[in-house]
Chain A
Amino acid sequence: MKISNKILGLTLVAGLLMSCETENLSGEGMGVDNNPNLAGTYVQEDQMGRPAVNTVFVSSGSKDEFNVTIPSEQNESFQPMFESTLLALNPGYTTNALGMDASTFTSALATDVLNVSLDGTTTFYDGTNVLTGRALTDDVITVELLLIFGGPDFSENPDFSDDHVDSNDKEFLSSFPYLASPH
């Protein structure tokens, strides 16, 4: 009863907001020229922080669930699955080049956000900086393969730790919008 009242209340509020916006926008020219009514509630379907995390570490029956689990709850819900996947992929895993054991590494991965520095170089990994962003040229798959298969010094499982595709098929632009024109 309480819940249904709440829902009714929310719906009313939402309805008011939407009708308000339509009036205001047409009447007072708020926002950009001819701004259409964008108001409404938008519900999540997909999400992504670091590349390939859901694809590699989440089992097939849980991929949709991972996409609608907020990052602050991902570690608790998914870290055990990530760790078992890691150890299935590489049963010989001890630590990786970041000095992370299986538990530490998968704890870091399970919260699927990209860590980005506002103070300088932004790269997934460039030999010096680690996880300070993701640049277009970063060979993220090889970095991830090295961290999964490469062992403490990147020397283990060389057949699996580099896909030997090191760069994009088109040159990126040095200026906005940075991505190359389409094929």
Chain B
Amino acid sequence: MELSRRTLLAGGFAAVLGGTVVGCSSGMDAGSTTKKNAATELTLWCWPGGLGKSVLDDTVAYFPDPKIKYSEVGGDFKQKLITTFNGGTSIPDITGIKGEDIASMLPQAERFVDLRTVGADAILGDYVEWKVKQATTLDGKVIGLPIDIGPTALYYREDVFTKGGLPGDPAAVAEQLKTWDDLFAAGVELKKSNPKALIVWDATDLYDIVVGQGTERYVSKDNTFIGDQDHIRKAWDTVVKAMTLKIDGKTASGSPDWNAGLDQGTVPAHVGAAWVALDIKSAVKSSVGEWRLAPTPGGPANFGGSFLTITKNAADPAKAFEVIKYMLTPDNQAKAFADAQIFPATPSAYDKPQLKVADPFFGGQVPIEIFGPAAEAIPVAYEAPSDVAVAQPFKDELKTVQSGAKTSDAAWSAAVSKAKSIAKRQGVQ
């Protein structure tokens, strides 16, 4: 048989024709199914480490009927959740939603139970207001109850700091490192005596935190793009400064290099949310007791902090609400903190004994003394549903500055034009 382009084309055409018939007659158009789950089991999804273990075990024991089935979903949680909604089968009754994803889920509010319809009003006052706001739609529906918040602090190695001629005591560090410029100056100082110790672990990681210290982000409340304005450019310049001073370690948090550097002293400091403590603790072996905490230079920010939501597929929303309400009481939030550094979203938990404990990992420091005041001073900024997508080009382009491939100005204009086009795509003015 001689194969030619023509026969191939003819074959392809025949295939297309044949397929059209199949396609039309089957009329496969998956509509959104909102079939209720069976009432025999209450399914609960969260990511690894998202909920305190003892709280979870206790909750499962406390609600025997229907039995709670907990599933730990690794990988990209939001992607899994959306495709599951989309797939229409095995949608959980209760699911966690990460802080960075909540804004983009608000337009999908009809997929979730408005917690105010099942009695949330009575307890919403227990949680920090700005966090509840993140899960509130513009027309007032509340789709999630806060699991935790992520107030930031400066984590640092006392031994490396003192050896490098910097203050080691938290109070003295707080006094000296008030702004980013202070921190960078200290970094230059430290590098002189210890060339391997770079005070900024990764400048592009730092960028998110600097942006989080402001009261505005990339898109304003009236849905216009403001990512090209001064507040963002300032954050950008701050981060670029760390790069030009050559005190940027370029080791993204969570990377193998970061993990190893924590112990080896090449990552002597990190600015991160309260939950980062768990990552640092699990990564280090030899530097236990050498770590300290100080307030974030330039003021606190929030990074992460998630929610529990109830889907419309829940067999019994009222029952599901009982479960999350129980799980996230101030008492249980305090317990979760003791379990896994999950920082309470309920200020009244800060006075509980679990949070007053001195932590030998931090040389006997009491973490809440740093995180507590930070939690209450976090600036509130409006986060548009498109925020994550619009922010991405800025982070991508910062990496090109970091690697030396582009100048700061060239990268900035590329970032702004990419962000603008993404914003336009997302329906932002």
Check if A and B associate. no
Binding site for B on A (CB under 8 A): none
